[in-house]
Amino acid sequence: MLRITLDEAIAYEEEIVERARSAMNFESVDSIDNDIKSNCKIIEIQHWQLIKWLKELKLYKEAEEKGLIKLTSNIDNFIYCPYCGRKLERNEKNNE
């Protein structure tokens, strides 16, 4: 299976957004053309959101690599304070 980096995934998604934008640059002559433009706009919006999530994930991963934050998983019985990094026990009753 081919593995890609976050940067490669972001670049790929940016390419999809650009293709969707360029595909909308024509004059509509009928309702089919309007549907095509509408679908391209939906693709642009969805992939732009994905780009934002990927960039956010990249920032979190970079911060974790620098030791600024600790990303937890659902299996941990503790969480980390986002401000000071102190380990806190998770309240099992309220899942807090």
Residue 82 has pLDDT above 80, yes or no: no
| Higher pLDDT pick, 72 / 49 | 49
pTM of the model: 0.67
Q: What is the mean pLDDT of residues 1-25?
A: 93
Instruction: Give, in degrees to the nearest 5, the angle at Cα 56 between 7 and 66.
Output: 80
Residue 18 has pLDDT above 90, yes or no: yes
Q: How many CB atoms lie within 10 A of CB 2?
A: 3
**Secondary structure element (H or E) that encloses residue 87, with its range:** strand 87-89
Asked if 24 contacts 37 with a C-beta cutoff of 8 angstroms, the reply is: yes
